[in-house]
């Protein structure tokens, strides 16, 4: 059955072209009502939206085939990330496509405020010639405070610096060194409010940024400050903004986004204020930006549906980092170790520890923990488990997780070990990579051996004495089972050994029972690695 993607907002035609070229059916649902979407969304594996569609629990409950949501743009506050993550639905965005357009629109708003272009144009259209009323100010020498210095914030900063402005900024993540490289003076919010002639916000809308600029914080700003929001509606409290404009404390405000869109009638006084400059959420509405975001999000959705690495995942860091070439071989390794551990550990697991030995595994320890967890749970849980919801599923199961790092102590420079603990027993399995296609298990529960983690493996413990391998080999030969390769491991000669035999096909329960009844053989099991 062909994969299919639903598009419920207006999107550049490049999205439809790319999907069709990839053999993916695309359906335009941009004119569908809420009820139509609910009735018809169950069969789609992908869903691409802009800001007009909000995907929450109601839609996600009906979209039972959904694997990936693509947001053509940056902000994803119109997607219930928690609900999507719990269901194992990947959420992607297109963070770079509209950067230039949004930054340029911010600069247009900044210039519009400084030179009072909006009211001057309106006055001229009404037949008046009132030059003295619209005396503005230069940007040169002024200070702009930028709140949120991500891609768009940085791009705005670069353009403001080119105008000869001083740029002060606040960002909870950006380091002082990185800010200095851009030319931004990093400061706290209180200082930013005190110094800035203009304040421009470029943050996502999250609980910490909702109403960030309110009556209290706006009162801390310079008298006559210009305020700009081309990010997300709700970061600036619109009621407080109107009060500031009417009192004269705020010299001007420019907004492209609003708490509700289209704006409600309650905003009529703000929109009509002569020192307010507004546009209808068009910061990213350029031909170039629309094509860029549509192309970027569609390409990522296609990659996700093909189970290929993606770079713009929003609801899981593991997916983004797992796409890095350096770690990809160890992603394969950690996944196979998790899969093997679940099959080889018979009891209930209470604690799972990923131990990373060597530079590369240690660098990506948190990613490898999620990968191993996904491999472990995917063969034992009653619901689909992937990199997105693995930690949620583990939390619900009460599974304690940990990650430890070590310097390499064996002949292998980079190793990943998965250690499981139950109520009264424990188990560990260790592996390394020779290449992305060559995963090697190097130790099983303390037995050192080297075997490829692929195909069908018969594992058993046996007394370490002559003739044991011959007896098992004969039992398999009697059943027409061909042996591909084998590996042996033992701790102390003459006690107990662990044997792993690669066979060409899965073994039936009857054959496993036959092997287990050979004198000196115990703990017989099959280890299956899916291709």
What are 338-359's pLDDT values in tens digits? 989 988 887 678 889 999 988 8
The residue from 3, 159, 232, 362 that is catalytic is: 232
Higher pLDDT, 528 or 250: 250
pLDDT in tens, 354-375: 999 888 888 888 889 988 988 8
Closest-CA residue to 475 (of 493, 458, 496):
458
What percent of the chain has a predicted confidence (pLDDT) above 70? 95
Written as one string, the DSSP assignment of 186-229 is E--HHHHHHH-SEEEE-----TTTTT-B-HHHHHTSPTTEEEEE
pLDDT in tens, 19-71: 999 999 999 999 999 999 999 999 999 999 998 899 999 999 999 999 999 99
Helix-then-strand count for the chain, H and E: 20, 22
CATH number among 3.40.190.10, 3.40.50.970, 3.30.1330.90, 3.40.50.800, domain 324-453? 3.30.1330.90
For domain 99-278, say whether CATH 3.40.50.150 is its number: no
Closest-CA residue to 489 (of 512, 461, 468):
461
Q: Which two tokens stand for residue 485?
A: 């390769």
- SS3 of 226-286: EEEECCCCCCECHHHHHHHHHHCCEEEEEECCCCCCCCCHHHHHHHCCCCEEECCCCCCCC
Closest-CA residue to 402 (of 462, 354, 470, 340):
354
Q: What is the three-class DSSP state of 298?
A: helix
Identical fold at 99-278 and 454-531? no
What percent of the chain has a predicted confidence (pLDDT) above 90? 65
The residue ranges of every structural domain in the chain are 4-96+289-315, 99-278, 324-453, 454-531
The pTM of this model reads: 0.61
Cβ pair 152, 101 in contact under 8 A: no
261 is catalytic: yes
- Domain 4-96+289-315 fold is Rossmann fold (3.40.50)
The residue from 36, 130, 261, 326 that is catalytic is: 261
Cβ pair 320, 120 in contact under 8 A: no
Beta bridge partners of 351: 400, 421
pLDDT given for residue 92 in this prediction: 92
- Domain 454-531 fold is Alpha-Beta Plaits (3.30.70)
Q: Is the pLDDT of residue 408 over 80?
A: no
pLDDT classification of 379: cutoffs 50, 70, 90: low
Torsion of CA 205, 210, 214, 220, to 10 degrees: -70
pLDDT given for residue 392 in this prediction: 75
List helix spans (H) across 306-415: 317-322, 328-344, 359-363, 365-378, 390-397
pLDDT given for residue 51 in this prediction: 86
CB neighbourhood size of 54 (10 A): 13
Burial class (CB in 10 A: 0-12, 13-18, 19+), 269: middle
232 is catalytic: yes
pLDDT in tens, 157-211: 999 999 999 999 998 767 788 888 899 999 999 999 999 999 999 988 877 788 9
Q: Which two tokens stand for residue 287?
A: 């031909």
Burial 161-179, CB ≥16 within 10 A → b, else e: eebebbbbbbbeebeeeeb
pLDDT classification of 382: cutoffs 50, 70, 90: very low
The residue from 71, 159, 281, 461 that is catalytic is: 281
């Amino acid at each position: 059955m062909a994969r299919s993607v639903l598009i419920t907002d207006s999107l550049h035609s490049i999205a439809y072209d790319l999907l069709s070229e990839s053999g993916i059916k695309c359906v335009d649902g941009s004119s569908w009502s809420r009820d139509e979407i609910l009735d018809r969304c169950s069969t789609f594996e992908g869903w691409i939206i802009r800001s007009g569609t909000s995907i929450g629990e109601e839609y996600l409950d009906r979209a039972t085939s959904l694997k990936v949501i693509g947001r053509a743009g940056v902000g994803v506050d119109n997607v219930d990330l928690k609900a999507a993550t719990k269901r194992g639905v990947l959420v992607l965005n297109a963070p770079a496509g509209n950067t230039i357009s949004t930054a340029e629109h911010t600069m247009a708003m900044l210039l519009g405020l400084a030179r009072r272009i909006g009211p001057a144009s309106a006055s001229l259209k009404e037949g008046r010639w009132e030059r003295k009323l619209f005396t503005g100010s230069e940007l040169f020498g002024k200070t702009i405070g930028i709140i949120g210095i991500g891609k768009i914030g940085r791009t705005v900063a670069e353009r403001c610096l080119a105008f000869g402005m001083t740029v002060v900024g606040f960002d909870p993540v950006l380091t002082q060194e990185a800010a200095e490289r851009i030319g931004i003076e990093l400061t706290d919010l209180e200082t930013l409010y005190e110094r800035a002639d203009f304040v421009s916000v470029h943050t996502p809308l999250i609980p910490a940024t909702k109403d960030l600029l309110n009556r209290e914080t706006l009162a801390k700003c310079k008298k006559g400050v210009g305020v700009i929001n081309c990010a997300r509606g709700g970061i600036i409290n619109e009621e407080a903004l109107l009060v500031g404009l009417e009192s004269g404390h705020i010299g001007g405000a420019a907004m492209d986004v609003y708490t509700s869109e289209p704006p409600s009638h309650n905003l009529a006084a703000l929109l009509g204020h002569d020192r307010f400059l507004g546009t209808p959420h068009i910061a990213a509405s350029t031909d170039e930006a629309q094509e860029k975001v549509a192309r970027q999000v569609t390409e990522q959705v296609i990659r996700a549906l093909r189970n290929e690495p993606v770079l713009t995942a929003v609801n899981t860091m593991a997916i983004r980092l797992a796409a890095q070439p350096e770690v990809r071989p160890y992603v394969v390794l950690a996944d196979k170790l998790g899969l093997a551990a679940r099959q080889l550990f018979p009891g209930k697991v209470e604690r799972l520890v990923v131990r990373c030995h060597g530079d590369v595994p240690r660098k990506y320890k948190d990613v490898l923990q999620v990968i191993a967890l996904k491999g472990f749970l995917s063969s034992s849980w009653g619901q689909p488990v992937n990199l997105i919801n693995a930690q949620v599923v583990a939390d619900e199961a009460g599974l304690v997780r940990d990650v430890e790092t070590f310097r390499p102590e064996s002949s292998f420079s980079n190793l990943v070990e998965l250690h499981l603990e139950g109520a009264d027993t424990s188990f560990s399995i260790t592996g390394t990579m020779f290449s992305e296609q060559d995963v090697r298990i190097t130790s099983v529960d303390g037995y050192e051996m080297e075997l490829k983690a692929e195909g069908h493996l018969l594992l058993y413990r046996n007394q370490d004495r002559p003739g044991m391998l011959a007896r098992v080999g004969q039992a398999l030969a009697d059943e027409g089972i061909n042996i591909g390769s084998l590996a042996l491991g033992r701790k102390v000669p003459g006690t107990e050994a662990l044997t792993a035999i690669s066979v060409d096909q899965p073994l039936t329960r009857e054959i496993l029972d036959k092997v287990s009844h050979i004198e000196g053989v115990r703990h017989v099991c099959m280890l299956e690695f899916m291709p």
